[in-house]
C-alpha cells in the first residue's frame, strides 16, 4: 500500500471525504512554498498536490500559469522540487504528496532517474496531464512498478467507450475534472458532477476525487458530498499570488478542508 492507499483507508474508517490541496512548487519562491506545504497537513489537508512548474502548461488557466511563471522566474527547477519534498518528509512521513505537471521535465531527466529520485524524495503519486493511456509504457507502467501511483484524469468528455482505457492502469485515485476547460475557468456544480462520479465508480474501485472550479468551503462540501473528496488549486494559489503569509494561506486551505470534511 502507498501512502495514498493508506490515507483513503483511514478516511473511509472515519467516514470522511478527502481534501486535496494543490500548490505550485517554488511559488513565489522556494522558502515560501515550502512553508505553505509544511503547514497544510495541520490545516486539515489530506493529500498535497505539488505542481511542477513548466513553461507551457496547456491544462492550466491564468492563475496557475502565472504561479508557474513566478516559480520559474525565481529559479525553481525539477531538482529543487524534489529537494522540497525531501525537506517536507523530514517532518512528515505520512501525508501523501502527488506531483502534478507535464512530461517534458521528466523526459529530460530520464524516466528511470526521475522515478528513483522521486521515490527517494518521498513522492507517492504522479499526475502527468499530457501523457494519454496510449503512452502508458512511457511512464505510467514504470512508475507503478517503482511503487508510485499514476493518477489519471477523467473529464466530462470521457465517454463510456473511452473510460475503460483511462482506468486500465490508473492507481491511487481517479481525478475527475468537473468542467470542460482549463483550471479556474468555471464553477463546479454538484448536480452535474454527481452522475459523472457515479458512472466512473461503477467501473472502478478507486476513489474518485473532483477538481477544477471549487473555490469556497460550501462548494468543497457540495462536491465532496457527491464524490470521495475534492481538490482545490486556483483558489489557494490566488492567496499566494496576493502575497498572503504562509499562515494565512494554510488557514484558508483549512476552511476548505473543513468544508470537504463536513460532507
Q: Quick: pLDDT tens for 104-116.
A: 999 999 999 999 9
Give how far the C-alpha of residue 162 lies from the chain's centroid of Cα atoms, to the nearest Å. 22
pLDDT of the residue at 185: 65
Place 183 in a pLDDT band, splitting at 50, 70 and 90.
Answer: low
Place 187 in a pLDDT band, splitting at 50, 70 and 90.
Answer: confident
CA atoms of 102 and 38, how far apart (whole Å) = 24
DSSP summary character for residue 186: S
- Would you give the end-to-end CA distance of the chain in angstroms? 26
Domain residue spans in the chain? 3-261
How many other CB atoms sit within 10 Å of the CB of residue 198?
12
The whole-chain average pLDDT of the chain stands at 95
> Can you identify the CATH homologous superfamily of domain 3-261?
Aldolase class I (3.20.20.70)
pLDDT of the residue at 33: 98
C-alpha cell of residue 126: 504522479
Share of the chain above pLDDT 70, in %: 98
Place 191 in a pLDDT band, splitting at 50, 70 and 90.
Answer: confident
Q: Provide the 3-class DSSP secondary structure of residue 256.
A: helix
pLDDT of the residue at 189: 85
pLDDT at 180 over 80: no
CA atoms of 99 and 103, how far apart (whole Å) = 11
Q: Looking at 14, 29, 46, 49, which residue is catalytic?
A: 49
Provide mean pLDDT across the span 62-71.
Answer: 96
pTM for the whole structure: 0.96
Q: Looking at 14, 29, 46, 60, which residue is catalytic?
A: 60
pLDDT of the residue at 59: 79
Active site residue 49: yes
pLDDT at 245 over 90: yes
pLDDT of the residue at 179: 80
Read off the pLDDT of residues 118-157 as tens digits, 9 standing for 90 and up. 999 999 999 999 999 999 999 999 999 999 999 999 999 9
pLDDT of the residue at 58: 83
How would you class 164 by CB atoms within 10 Å of its CB: exposed for 0-12, middle for 13-18, buried for 19 or more? Answer: exposed
Read off the pLDDT of residues 218-241 as tens digits, 9 standing for 90 and up. 999 999 999 999 999 999 999 999
Read off the pLDDT of residues 82-102 as tens digits, 9 standing for 90 and up. 999 999 999 999 999 999 999
Amino acid at each position: 500500500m502507498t501512502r495514498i492507499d493508506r490515507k483513503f483507508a483511514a478516511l473511509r474508517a472515519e467516514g470522511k471525504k478527502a481534501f486535496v490541496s494543490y500548490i505550485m512548487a517554488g511559488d513565489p519562491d522556494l522558502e515560501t512554498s515550502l512553508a505553505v506545504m509544511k503547514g497544510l497537513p495541520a490545516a486539515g489537508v489530506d493529500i498535497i498536490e505539488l505542481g511542477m512548474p513548466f513553461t507551457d502548461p496547456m491544462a492550466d488557466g491564468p492563475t496557475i500559469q502565472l504561479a508557474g511563471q513566478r516559480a520559474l522566474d525565481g529559479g525553481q527547477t525539477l531538482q529543487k522540487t524534489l529537494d522540497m519534498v525531501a525537506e517536507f518528509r523530514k517532518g512528515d512521513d505520512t501525508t501523501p504528496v502527488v506531483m502534478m505537471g507535464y512530461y517534458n521535465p521528466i523526459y529530460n531527466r530520464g524516466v528511470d532517474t526521475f522515478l528513483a529520485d522521486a521515490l527517494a524524495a518521498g513522492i507517492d503519486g504522479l499526475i502527468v496531464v499530457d501523457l494519454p493511456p496510449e503512452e502508458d509504457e512511457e511512464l505510467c507502467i514504470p512508475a507503478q512498478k517503482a511503487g508510485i501511483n499514476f493518477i489519471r484524469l477523467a473529464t466530462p468528455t470521457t465517454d463510456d467507450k473511452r473510460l475503460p482505457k483511462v482506468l486500465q492502469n490508473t492507481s491511487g485515485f481517479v481525478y475527475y475534472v468537473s468542467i470542460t476547460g482549463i483550471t479556474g475557468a468555471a464553477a463546479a456544480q454538484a448536480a452535474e458532477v454527481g452522475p459523472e462520479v457515479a458512472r466512473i465508480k461503477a467501473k472502478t474501485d478507486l476513489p474518485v476525487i473532483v477538481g477544477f472550479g471549487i473555490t469556497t468551503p460550501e462548494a468543497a462540501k457540495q462536491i465532496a458530498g457527491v464524490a470521495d473528496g475534492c481538490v482545490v488549486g486556483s483558489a489557494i494559489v490566488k492567496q499566494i499570488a496576493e502575497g498572503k503569509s504562509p499562515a494565512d494561506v494554510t488557514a484558508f486551505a483549512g476552511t476548505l478542508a473543513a468544508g470537504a470534511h463536513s460532507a
